[in-house]
Amino acid sequence: MSPNLTLLLVACTLIGTGVYLFLSRSLVRALMGFLLMGNGINLLFIVGSGPAGQPPIVGHSEGVMADPVPQALVLTAIVITLGMTAFVLALAHRSRQLDGLDLVRDDAESRRILELAETDNLGSVPTARETAEAIQAEGARTESRFHEEVAPPPPEEHEKGVGR
């Protein structure tokens, strides 16, 4: 198969500029990048699908048809992109409502994890020894709780125990 170089170059340009914009902090700029990348990748499908041909409609013309399967794939991708565009724009709108800007801020949770990692802080997890001992203690604990709450033993019982 001999791929179409023009289409390939166009697709690569779209992807390159798309990635460039996609790495922006502005949501709308990133969306522009996403749309460019999307167009580029759709074109790559077409490049990879084979040579150009007649529309894949039976009885439309006599020539060799273009491969219909990648077309169907790309068609769904195009429609999904529309939904995606609307969603990201709604996000940008919401971001403006909250911050006045459509910039993506740093994720506070990731920042927190990074800080924990830098200070080697595993949180309030018990140490290995504590865990092992807690399990041992729990295993040795009687099952009283399984049946009924046990009142502490009466003092005379205790006295008797001491007497032995």
Partner 1 sequence: MIAVLVLGHLVAAVAAPTLVRLLGPRAFLVVALAPAATVVWAAAQLSGATDPRTGGLVQSVTWVDDLGIDLAFRLDTLAWVMTLVVAGVGALVLVYCSHYVDDDDHGRVSVLAGCLVGFAGAMLGVVTADDLLMLYVFWEITTVLSYLLIGYHSTSSAATRAAKQALVVTTAGGLAMLVGIVLLGHAGGTYRVSELLADPPTGTAVTVGVVLLLAGAVTKSALVPFHFWLPGAMVAPTPISAYLHAAAMVKAGVYLVARLAPGYAALPAWQFTVLVLGGATMLLGAFRATRQTDLKLLLAYGTVSQLGFLVVLLGYGSPGATLAGLTLLVAHALFKACLFLTVGTIDHATGTRDIRRLVGIRQKMPWLALSATLAAMSMAGLPVLIGFVGKEAAIAALLDPADGWWSLRGAAAVVVVLGSVMTTAYSVRFVWGAFTDRARPPVGKPGPPRWHRPTWVLVAVPGLLSVLGIVLGVTSTTLEGVVEPHVVTVSHVADAHPVHLGLWHGVSAPLLVSVGIWLAGGLWWSAQARRPVEVPVPLVPFDAGRTYHHLMRGLDRLALESTGFLQRGSLPVLLGTIFVVLVALPGSWMLLDRTDLPDSVTPADGPAQVAAGIIVVAAAVLAARARRRLRAVFLVSVTGYGTAYLFLLHGGPDLALTQVLVETVSLVVLVLVLRRLSGRFPDDPTVMTRRLRALLGAAVAVVLGGATLVAAGSRVHEPAGAGLAPRAVDYGGGYNIVNVILVDVRAWDTMGELSVILACATGVASLIFLTDENLERVRVGLRKVRGERGRPVRREGQEPSGMPWIPGGDLVDQRRRSTILEIVTHLVFHTIVLWSVYLLFSGHNLPGGGFAAGIVAGLALCLRYLAGYGAELRAALPVMPPVLLGTGLFIAGGSAVLPMFFGSPALRTWIADVHVPLLGDVHVVTSLLFDVGVYLVVLGLMLDILRSLGSGVDSQIRAEQSAGADRTEEVSR
Q: Which of residues 44-103 bind partner 1 (CB under 8 A)?
A: 44, 46-60, 65-72, 74-76, 78-87, 89-94, 96, 101-103
Binding-site size, partner 1 (CB under 8 A): 129
Interacting residues with partner 1 between 5 and 34 (CB under 8 A): 5-26, 28-29, 32
* Closest CB 79 distance from partner 1, rounded Å: 5
Residues in the chain: 164
Interacting residues with partner 1 between 134 and 153 (CB under 8 A): 134-148, 150-153
* Closest CB 61 distance from partner 1, rounded Å: 10
Three-class SS of residue 3?
coil
Query: Alpha-carbon distance 15 to 6, whole Å?
Result: 14
For residue 77 the two structure tokens come to 């991708």
Contacts from 21-29 at CB under 8 Å and sequence distance 24+?
25/103, 25/104, 26/102, 26/103, 26/104, 27/88, 27/91, 27/92, 27/95, 27/102, 27/103, 27/104, 28/89, 28/92, 28/102
* Closest CB 106 distance from partner 1, rounded Å: 4
Query: Alpha-carbon distance 134 to 132, whole Å?
Result: 6
* Closest CB 62 distance from partner 1, rounded Å: 12
Q: Is 124 in the site for partner 1 (CB under 8 A)?
A: no
For residue 31 the two structure tokens come to 């969306």
Contact between 33 and 18 (Cβ < 8 Å) = yes
* Closest CB 97 distance from partner 1, rounded Å: 8
